[in-house]
Structure 1
Amino acid sequence: MPSNTEVRKVDDPQELEKVFAVRREVFVGEQNCPPELEYEFEDVSTHFLATVDGEPAGAARWRKTDKGYKLERFAVLSKFRGYGVGQALVKAVLDDLPADATYVYLHSQVQAVGLYEKFGFKPSGPQFEEAGIQHFKMVKG
C-alpha cells in the first residue's frame, strides 16, 4: 500500500525522461499507441510527474491550444493504479492552470470518464477513436 504520493511540475531533462518512461510503458507498451503519436507538443506542454514513496508512478501534462487549455497524457503505471495517483495528478494539473483558463478540456479514454467527472468534467459530443482507443471529449463545467 503506497503511503506517500507526490505530484510536481517538472522541466529538468532527467525528470522529463521519467515522465516519458511512464508514458512509454502505459501508452506504447500496454495500449499499443504508435510512438510517433505519443510524442508531440512536448516543448509547448507543462509536464507533471507523480511519485509514490519516491518512485515514478504517473505522468500528465497541459498545454494551451487554439481552443483553450487541454489536459493530456494522464498515465499511471499498472502497479500504482487504484491508489489515488490519477486523482492526485488531475488535481495538481488543474491547480497549475493559469487564471485565464476559462475553457478547459481533455480527451478521456472511455474507462477514465468517471475519474474526470469527479473534477467537474462532462462528456461533450460522440465517442471517437484516437490512437486506436475509444475516447470522449470532456469539458470542465
Structure 2
Amino acid sequence: MPATVIVKRVSEQADLDIVFALRREVFVVEQNCPPELEWENEDVSIHFLATVDAEPAGACRWRKTDKGYKLERFAVLKKFRGFGVGQAMVQTVLDDLPADADYIYLHAQTPAVSLYKRFGFEVMGDEFEEAGIKHFKMVKS
C-alpha cells in the first residue's frame, strides 16, 4: 500500500516528458488510442504529475476552451490504480482552476464516471465514443 500520493502542477520539460510518457503508456499502449488524437493542445494546457512514494504514477491536465474549463487526460498507471491517485488528481486540478471558473466539464471514460460524481460532476447527455473509447460528458454542478 503506497504511503504518499503527491500531485503537482508541472511545466519543466523533464516533468512534461514524464507526463507524456505516462499518458502514452495508458492511452496509446494500454487503451489503443490513436497517437495523433492523444497529442493535441499541449501548449495551451496546464499539466499535472502524480507520484506515489516519489514514483511517477499519473498525469492529467486542464485547459480553457471556448465553453469553459475542461479537465482532460486523466491517466493512472495500472499498478497504482485503486490507491486514490485519481481522486488526488481531480481534487488538485479543481483547486488549481481560476476562482472565476464557472463552467467546468470533462469527457469521462465510462468506467470513471463514479469517480467524477464524487466531486459534483453530473452526466450530461448520452454515451459517445471518442478515440475508440466510450465516454460521457460531465459538468460540475
Which TM-score bucket, shorter chain as reference? over 0.9
With normalisation by structure 2, the TM-score equals 0.99
The SS at the match of 1:128 is: strand
Instruction: Please name the residue that 1:31 is paired with.
Output: 31
The SS at the match of 1:122 is: strand
Code of the aligned partner of 1:82: G
What aligned pairs does 1:1-141 form with structure 2 within 5 A after superposition? 1-141=1-141
Q: What's the CA shift for 1:5?
A: 0.6
Which stretches in structure 1 are left out of the alignment for 5+ residues?
A: none
Q: Following the alignment from structure 1 to structure 2, what is the Cα–Cα distance between the partners of residues 18 and 92?
A: 18
State percent identity of aligned pairs: 72
**CA RMSD, Structure 1 to Structure 2 (Å):** 0.3
Deviations 1:57-103 (A, max 9, x none): 00000000000000000000000000000000000000000011000
Code of the aligned partner of 1:112: A
Code of the aligned partner of 1:130: E
TM superposition outliers: structure 1 runs of 4+ over 3 Å: none
How many corresponding residue pairs? 141
Which stretches in structure 2 are left out of the alignment for 5+ residues?
A: none
